[in-house]
Amino acid sequence: MDKHLSEEDSDNIDWDTEDELEIQDTTFSSCRDLRTNGQYAISGDGEASSSSVPGQSTFIQKFLVMGFSEESIAKAIEQNGENSDLVLDALLTLKAIEDSPEEQPSASPHLEPCINSDDSSSEYNENFLDDVYDEDSWSSDSDYCTNSVKQCYVKEESNSLSEKEQTILFLANMGYPVEEVSIAMERCGPEASVSELTDFICAAQMAREEDPYLPEDVKPKLNHGSGGYKKRKMFNQLCKSKKPRAIFDEETIRLPKPMIGFGVPTESVSAIVRRTIPEQAFGPPFFYYENVALAPKGVWDTISRFLYDIEPEFVDSKYFCATARKRGYIHNLPTENRFPLLPLPPRTINEALPLTKKWWPSWDPRTKLNCLQTAIGSARLTDRIRKAVEAFDGEPPMRVQKFVLDQCRKWNLVWVGRNKVAPLEPDEFEMLLGFPKNHTRGGGISRTDRYKSLGNSFQVDTVAYHLSVLKDMFPNGMNVLSLFSGIGGAEVALYRLGIQLNNVVSVEKSEVNRNIVRSWWEQTNQRGNLIDFDDVQQLNGDRLEQLIDSCGGFDLLIGGSPCNNLAGSNRVSRDGLEGKESSLFYDYVRILDLVKSIMSRQR
């Protein structure tokens, strides 16, 4: 799940190509479903019109497709320039004026919202928002409401359009940029309801607006004109109506020092932690979400806001084992009566790797390793270090010591001989992270893939400490929905706690990781059922309802969405929850809400 490195950044990390910066300026013409072929585009009245007319740029065509007249488009462009957001806001304002009772209806078949003229002002229809965005609309039976709303908003003349095209027109008419609608439909899947799409767009807009790492020219312009005000009002109403927002301090959530969350077994806590869980966050199911602690500013505020405003628990795994791993956890589990896995894992480098003690130089003060990465130091680097240290009879000078220690900390190099350092072996990774020996060999994969899989995993001892409260609650075993499962850190933690796994639905994109989990399941002679999926978007309302019916409901929903776009060392695409991979966080929220809704109806 995680690709976060230590505080020491490196430009040499071989990040996945899937981490590329998401293109913000996706053109409308890329939506192939809106074109009948290479020469014709679907116009607003559902008829085909030539898309190769001279003088009609792609910028103009995308508004023609939405049903606006050329005259209105030209006027809006003259006033606002070629800025999609501002032009769309202006067109919506002009359309609202044209559609008011005082004006004669236009000869062209525009799309007419079924609202009063007052509702098209900036004080837009708050009751409508309550109807569209209530929490029940996230359940699988929201299609009826969604279709009713769309039918109200789209005239009979547009019946010839596909359902996808009608949805795009409907959301564009509400004031959402077409580019963002297209991205949302791609991410949420073809079966997504309007409420799911608007939630995704709202969260994406707010995350980009608050992210200090994004350039100003790619941040959403939410406050320009009446249309911009209307969209901002809708965003605020959406988040307010979905879940109450806690009152945070003016500054964003800060990481605690020491990073021990609500307590760790090796450190004393000065006071008993008492926290209040909002009523709507109560289970079933229990849920547990994890991601990197050192995320861009505002990310954890957003994560907390979408997970019922629960306070994150930030923990560094160095209090559980010999390696650091700074993570944030949001969950609705009790915090009392936790207990650690036994035997306690070694907590220092020399305890974990006793053979290194003989060769450890006195000028290397490390007792803990930094966060384990998905890549390791090269043979060329270790050879450079050997030559640098061997050049001196006694202790090397300070400048050489500094170079060596910097590289050792960055790449977690350990001393394996006189003046010789080496990266950790995969089985040493497994031991430090709490997995059984040879856990990642079960997938029949290369050493490189083993490092990658382990670097993206849970630290089992840390997670097991938090999950330990479930042991007495479920003496007959549990049903678990594991999202972004990786190599099965959650399943291993529950198994090591002695909790029987009755049914596990595991969702993991990587075939390598799925093979590792399947191999572990078979080698440990699990008696329950393991069902795996390769894409979280396959879990729509209908599929979840089938799974819940078959296993009798989920007791725990656990997972940590990809941190590719959050990790501090990822300088290429550190664009927060808007990134291509890290935006899958919203699928975690979507699935959690669906599971809670379905299970509440069945109780």
Active site residues: 563
- List of residues 6+ apart from 236 with CB closer than 8 A: none
Neighbours of 211 (CB within 10 A): 20
Residue 297, φ and ψ in degrees, nearest 5: -55, 135
Residue 358, φ and ψ in degrees, nearest 5: -60, -35
Token couple for 268: 């004393």
Give the C-alpha separation, 440 to 9, whole Å.
26
Neighbours of 321 (CB within 10 A): 25
Nearest one of 207, 109, 222, 95 to 161, comparing CA atoms: 109
Return the HEC string of 573-586.
CCCHHHCCCHHHHH
What do you get for the CA distance between the two ends of the chain, in Å? 33
- List of residues 6+ apart from 186 with CB closer than 8 A: none
Give the C-alpha separation, 98 to 110, whole Å.
10
Nearest one of 574, 595, 593 to 243, comparing CA atoms: 593
DSSP class per residue in 471-491: TTT-TT-EEEEEES-TTTHHH
Give the C-alpha separation, 171 to 113, whole Å.
11
Neighbours of 593 (CB within 10 A): 21
Which alpha helices (H) appear in 412-502, and where do they start and end?
426-433, 447-455, 460-467, 489-496
CA angle 348–353–354, rounded 5-degree value = 95
Strand (E) or helix (H) holding 556 = strand 556-559
Residue 248, φ and ψ in degrees, nearest 5: -90, 160
Nearest one of 199, 203, 197 to 182, comparing CA atoms: 197
List b or e across 288-318, with b for residues whose CB sees 16 or more CB atoms inside 10 angstroms.
bbbbbbbbbebbbbbbbbbbbbbbbbbbbbb
Classify residue 421 by its DSSP letter: E
- The neighbouring-strand residues paired with 421 are 415
Scan for tokens 């300088």, then name that residue. 571
Identify the sign of the CA torsion 98, 102, 108, 114: positive
Nearest one of 462, 400, 535 to 260, comparing CA atoms: 462
* CB-CB contact of 197 with 167 (8 Å): yes
* CB-CB contact of 508 with 485 (8 Å): yes
